[in-house]
Amino acid sequence: MTGSMRYVVFFIAAGVVLLVDLATKSAVMSAFSLHESIPVIPGFFDLTYVRNPGAAFGFLARTSPAFRSFFFSGVAVAAILFILYFLIREKEAGLILTLSLGLIIGGATGNLLDRIRFGEVVDFLDFSIGGYHWPAFNAADSAISVGACLLLYEIFKRKERRKAAGE
């Protein structure tokens, strides 16, 4: 992929994720009261408006709001800067790597904007099966997860290619 094309793919992926994330969170906040839930597929999937002051699975949710804000904002900014640096430096960035980084940075930016605006992240996708309940998440979290999986796939494929080439 040419240098300029990878930036186009990267910024389109990041922009689409950010727009979808902001639009879905806005729709949920305007249509739901906090903690309101509407079953979509009863017993499996609900739309539930919650706010998460921590990270994934409530990590650090019980620490002081000032510490959480500083810590999570700092981590997000560092991740965004690292991804941008890596994208600029990586001359062999193909479609999968570029797309994965765009998904991750778009999601990180969406959640960072929530932390800046609200001090916590808006979540609304709520899955459960029987007595097992997955913590609620949002479009940004989904994009970060898909991006991370694509990134891992690309890392393993590169390792296989290098091994096959005798490096």
Predicted confidence at residue 56, as pLDDT, reads 60
Predicted confidence at residue 75, as pLDDT, reads 86
Report phi then psi at 117, rounded to 5. -75, -40
Strand partners, 121: 52
CA atoms of 94 and 92, how far apart (whole Å): 6
The helix/strand/coil state of 51 is strand
CA atoms of 126 and 53, how far apart (whole Å): 17
CA atoms of 167 and 158, how far apart (whole Å): 11
CB-based contacts of 81, cutoff 8 Å, min separation 6: none
Q: Is 21 a catalytic residue?
A: no
pTM reported for the whole predicted model: 0.88
Which ranges of the chain have pLDDT less than 70? 1, 55-62, 167
Q: Which one of the listed residues 21, 114, 123, 126 is annotated catalytic? A: 123
CA atoms of 166 and 161, how far apart (whole Å): 9
Q: Is 123 a catalytic residue?
A: yes
Q: Quick one: residue 115, left, alpha or beta (phi over 0 = left, psi -120 to 50 = alpha)?
A: alpha
H or E element at residue 45: strand 45-52
Query: Structure tokens of 26?
Result: 């806005």
Q: pLDDT by residue (tens digit) across 136-167?
A: 999 999 999 999 999 999 999 988 888 888 76
CA atoms of 86 and 149, how far apart (whole Å): 17
Predicted confidence at residue 59, as pLDDT, reads 65
- Tell me the Cα Rg of the chain: 18
Q: Which one of the listed residues 21, 46, 114, 141 is annotated catalytic? A: 141
Predicted confidence at residue 104, as pLDDT, reads 95
Cβ count near 22 (within 10 Å):
17
**What are the structural domain ranges in the chain?**
3-148
